[in-house]
Amino acid sequence: MDLLIKMKHYVIFLIIAGIPFITSLGTNITYLSGASLPPQTLSNINLAGLLIGVITFYLWIWSVILHLSKAMDTKKITASSTFSLALLVSFVFGILALFYFHTGGIMSKDFIDQKDIVEESPSLTIILAIILFISLSLLLISLNHLAYLLVMAERNREPHKTEYFSEFIMALVFPIGLWFLQPRIQKVLASKGLVNKKY
């Protein structure tokens, strides 16, 4: 995924944050204006915008980890394929949870009306909580690995945990942190000949 690596930080920001915002704003304006579009269609448009942002976010993380791994000798550290798998699991679980909430989930009227099911089957809520916990945990692990690889590539040595904590925080407050991380990623990869310097 060289394309995401070569993109300017503001372009990726607009895709990840801008598209969901624009679709949400557009559908709200359409609904309030009394347009004849059914609510489900507007909801699906919102979901599509959100999916574009989420998918781009995960693809960016995967692309950065892949390229930084190539830039470094990763034989002495945990294989990046492990983190790619962790990211994939996080993505799948996250998308499943997103679709669940999109369809109404336990907050939907039809579900709430079935009081016996809600009272007698708390396992659904527990399963969802576990899925979200696993998804977020694996995402945090992947972001931590991204920060670790970036600092290691910049300093050509294995960094201490405190040395890449700020990079982890920047990755955590994505997509705002992207404005600071993407130029550094491009610079270190260009210095190692992995991307065109004219990005």
The string of pLDDT tens digits covering residues 74-123 is 544 555 667 778 888 888 888 887 887 776 554 444 444 444 444 445 77
Residue 174 lies in a domain: yes
* pLDDT tens digits, one per residue of 148-191: 999 998 888 888 888 889 999 998 887 788 889 999 998 888 88
Q: DSSP alpha helices (H): ranges in the chain? A: 2-6, 9-13, 19-32, 39-71, 80-102, 109-113, 115-120, 123-155, 165-172, 178-191
| Structural domain containing residue 67 | 2-191
Encode pLDDT of 3-48 as tens digits. Answer: 888 888 889 999 988 998 998 888 888 878 877 777 778 788 888 8
**Residue 119: CB partners within 8 Å, gap ≥ 6?**
none
Number of domains in the chain: 1
Q: Report yes or no on 12 lying in a domain.
A: yes
By CB neighbour count within 10 A (0-12 exposed, 13-18 middle, 19+ buried), where does 150 fall? buried
pLDDT of residue 104: 59
Closest CA to 68 of 164, 179, 138, 161: 164
In-domain check, residue 199: no
Check: CB of residue 173 under 8 Å from CB of residue 141: no
Q: What pLDDT, on a 0 to 100 scale, did the predictor assign at position 114?
A: 46
